[in-house]
Amino acid sequence: MPSQVIKPASLGMTGLRNNDTWTDGLPICKLSGVGMSANQMYREDGTPCSEHEYEDRSIHFCLDRENSTYLYGVFDGHDGAKAAYFASQRMPAELSFEQLTGKTTEEEVKEVFREAFLAVENAFLESIDPKIAERTQLLDKIPDGMSQFEAAQNFPETFSRLQALDQEIRGGTTAVVALVHGGRLHVGNLGDSRALLCIKDKSGVLKVKQLTADHTTSSHDELQRLAALNLPTTKIHGAKFGNHELTRCIGNYFMKGGYKEFDILSSAASEPVIPEPHIRSIPIDESCSFLLLMSDGLYKSYQDATGSEQVNKEIAQMVVEQFVEQPTLTSIAQTVVDKVVRLHHDNFLTKRRNVTTRDDITLIIRNFNFQLRGALTPGAGVPLPGSVSPRLPPRPLLPLPLSQITGRQSQDEDDDQFDIHRGDDLMGPLPLHHHHPNMDTNTTSTESSDLQNPSLTQFSLDEDGRIHPYVNFDLYYQAIDEAKVAGHITESQMHLYK
């Protein structure tokens, strides 16, 4: 099985350049946007530079427009980008070729989704099998008990090749993948990349819900699982397996098939690091506002820079504010990423917090029912039943600073849930459907003709069908007159203000 580019013949990809991949033939989902930033370390004078290659990969595809099937994913590689790249290519293949055909129940789709994760894992390990076999043969040439220094001195060529093979074998990746299918959102994850869903409740309050579980050596659930494998939790808690704390991932052979080589894991009854995903499934309805998929570089960089204990809520709030400012989902995602990057760098320069490096950052935004600046009415200009053309402007969205937003944490199963209170609901009710003019108009949300955009009903029309004036300039003109009386504005300047 190929370990790099996967090009199924059934796709009929013709005319591809040598560096293209088969996924380049999949249509991009226009209901989503991606922001990213490469890792950085700071020199003493504050100049940033990359520590290593960019190891994140992401996907946001429309797999089946007719059946409204979409696939999104963020893969945060470690010890190289090869595992993340492999997963980003293989995961769509595991869900694109009729695997979902005929699967209508929640449990059926979840099982297909789970099998996709395991298939990606198996395919990746198979791709490095030849290297693992070669490594085993070379290790047999070095006497047991010989130190690395002695091996390098006595078997230089063998030792050099072993080092190269170790580097090629050790790579792994987290995975947070969202599948929209059959009117439901299925989210699966391995590792510490996160999925956050912003939901609007019946009272108009936006709530942020984490749909993923963090699989690290600091997780209570993961520590319990490892304890059941005969590992001492007192040593495991917060420990690093290699260069990270992940307890679930794709790849990373040494923490799986080769775990006996590590003292901290050698007593495990079976493989301690596993590829079994955590999966959540929820219906998509008018309450779903938007979905965020992110690598840990985003929320950890924000946390490092601010010390916040409500990272999920505050990142979601940053996204909400950019929905008001930006015309596209990509610009929203990139602006949020850039803000976090700047916060992190500013904290290094001011020495407010001890931050010297940050990881790669990837953020995917999938919009369901949130008002986007470029989409003034539902249906991107298609009038609602009973509404009047031309399109009418919506009520302005007025973002509040974080200092004026209160959040409360409550428990919902194993998730953190926060309310984003918007004062006296300055955001206003969110319309059910609204798309950027360039967006894909397919949606899996449930549409109801009884629901209308409040922004279309707040304006009255005159007998000619025109909007009555709805902005009062009396105070403005009063201030101009007072400024003239006070001598701040001359008679010759009055035409500039009226």
Tell me the pLDDT tens digit for each residue of 224-240: 999 999 999 999 999 99
Query: Stretch 272-294: mean pLDDT, rounded?
Result: 97
Residue 36: CA count within 13 A, CB half-sphere: 15
Phi, psi (rounded to 5 degrees) for 354: -85, 80
Alpha helices in 140-245 (DSSP H): 148-154, 156-169, 220-227, 233-236
Backbone angles phi, psi at 18, to 5 degrees: -60, -30
pLDDT at position 478: 79
Contact 72, 175 (CB under 8 A): no
Cβ contact 215:228 at 8 Å: no
Q: What is the pLDDT of residues 374-410, one digit of tens each?
A: 654 333 332 333 333 333 333 333 333 333 333 433 3
Please work out, in degrees rounded to the nearest 5, the angle formed at the alpha carbon of residue 404 by the alpha carbons of 400 and 409.
Answer: 110
Give the mean pLDDT of 290-312: 96
pLDDT of 9-42, one tens digit each?
333 333 334 456 888 889 999 999 999 999 999 9
- Residues 263, 94: Cα–Cα separation, whole Å: 36
Strands 361-367 and 32-37: antiparallel
How far is it, in rounded angstroms, from Cα 230 to Cα 345? 42
Q: What are phi and psi of 293, to 5 degrees?
A: -115, 130
The pLDDT score that the predictor gives to residue 187 is: 98
Q: Are 32 and 60 in contact (CB under 8 A)?
A: yes
Range with the lowest mean pLDDT among 213-227, 337-351, 414-428?
A: 414-428
CA distances from 319 to 42, 125, 127, 399, 433 (A): 27, 37, 39, 11, 18
- Comparison of pLDDT for 67 and 417, the residue scoring more: 67
Cα 492 to Cα 62, 287, 334, 496, distances in angstroms: 60, 55, 46, 9
| Nearest partner of 175 among 296, 264, 310, 53, judged by Cα | 296
Q: And the tokens for 317?
A: 């709030």
**Average pLDDT for 330-358:** 92
Tens-digit pLDDT profile for residues 45-63: 889 999 999 999 999 999 9
State the DSSP string of 134-149: HHHHHHTTSPTT--HH
Q: pLDDT tens, 440-483? A: 333 333 333 232 333 333 445 555 555 555 566 777 777 778 88
Say what the pLDDT of residue 302 is.
97
Q: Which pLDDT belongs to residue 479? A: 79
**What is the predicted pLDDT for the residue at 208?**
96
Evaluate if residue 160 carries a pLDDT over 60: yes
Span 238-261, average pLDDT: 92
Rounded average pLDDT over 415-444:
39
- Whether the CB-CB separation of 90 and 111 falls below 8 Å is answered with no
What's the pLDDT band for 491 if we cut at 50, 70, 90?
confident
Q: Could you tell me which of 322, 303, 75 has the C-alpha nearest to residue 188?
A: 75
Per residue in 111-137, pLDDT tens?
A: 999 999 999 999 999 999 999 999 999
